Amino acid sequence: MQPKPIRIGTRGSPLALAQAHEVRQKLLDALGADAPDIEIVVLSTAGDRIQDRALAEVGGKGLFTEEIEAGLLDGSLDLAVHSSKDMPTVLPEGLVLDHFLPREDVRDAFISLKYPTLDALPAGAVVGTASLRRQAMVRRLRPDLEVVTYRGNVQTRLRKLSEGVVDATLLAMAGLNRLGMAHVATAILDPETFPPAVGQGAIGIETRAGDRRIAELLDRIHHPATGLALATERAFLRTLDGSCRTPIAGHATISGASIHLRGLILTPDGVTAHSGEATGTDPEALGIALGERLKALGGPDFFRGH
């Protein structure tokens, strides 16, 4: 009897499709002759349709996942492929995000057709980015620049840059690599001074909790070290109640049994920032501990009113 086809849900942007095809190919390679049919199902999400406002104004990260998660919950999809940094830390009941491909480059790329680096931008130059983290960190490093909200997929942002809408933009190096577009990066930002978003560079695979068949197939392509890093970072973000309204950076690295986590919280204007790091072996405990420490440093008003 022919096994039931596997249906992968994804958004329709070129990057989302590249990620879904990467998961599909890894499954086919891992399962070999036993592989069932694997179909890619493209869904439009509210986050794709609303392009004229910042995500924080219209509902945050869940805008990129709701339609896809509905398909998982009603059984029309078997798994969903996401950029982990776009995933809310609290998922709908009955869904889990616990399989990951090996992590790509976590760094941010600086892209400009006129200037070689962020430091080289003249005062008053316009930097466009939709990420509150990137906006806050640019303002912190270069308070003399104008920072504007700038949305769209990678291709749209690069087109706007070429049209002169902004002088520079920032994109995830991982996305450029996956699209075969690493050459468009003018400079790569040092993660020590410009730390990444939680989950940046990691493809996450969301499934129904308790779906043994799908979980066992995904176990074949899961990357355990990335899973540990992401569990740590997501516990950190969840502890800070990280929404699209709060600039937060977090990056966990794995060395043997040891996990090292660096975290940063900023006010949207970049004026105030608190950072910290911690090392341990339990991802959940480590993420929560550093989250609580930064929360205490920020004080009760830090996450209000932004």
Q: Does the pLDDT at position 61 exceed 90?
A: no
Mean pLDDT throughout 19-30?
A: 97
Q: Is the pLDDT of residue 285 over 80?
A: yes
Q: Which segment of 40-49, 55-64, 225-234, 297-306 scores lowest on mean pLDDT?
A: 55-64
Report, as residue numbers or ranges, the catalytic residues: 86
Task: Tell me which amino acid residue 62 is.
Answer: G
Determine the pLDDT at residue 291. 95
* Model pLDDT, residue 65: 83
C-alpha angle with apex 79: 65 to 239, nearest 5 degrees?
50
**pLDDT higher than 70, residue 89:** yes
220-227 average pLDDT score: 98
Per-residue pLDDT at 302: 80
Confidence band of 151 (pLDDT split at 50, 70, 90)? confident
Round to whole Å and give the CA distance between 271 and 279: 27
| DSSP helix/strand/coil, 20 | helix
Determine if residue 94 is left, alpha or beta; phi over 0 gives left, psi from -120 to 50 gives alpha, anything else beta: left
* Dihedral of the alpha carbons of 160, 162, 165, 168, in degrees to the nearest 10: 100
Q: Which structural domains are found in the chain, ordered by start?
A: 1-102+202-222 (3.40.190.10), 108-188 (3.40.190.10), 224-298 (3.30.160.40)
State the pTM of this model: 0.91
Mean pLDDT to the nearest integer, 235-253:
86
Mean pLDDT of the chain: 91
- In three-state secondary structure terms, 205 is strand
Which pLDDT belongs to residue 306? 46
The amino acid at 57: E
What digits encode the pLDDT tens for the residues 190-203?
Answer: 999 999 999 999 99
What is the pLDDT averaged over residues 58-84?
Answer: 85
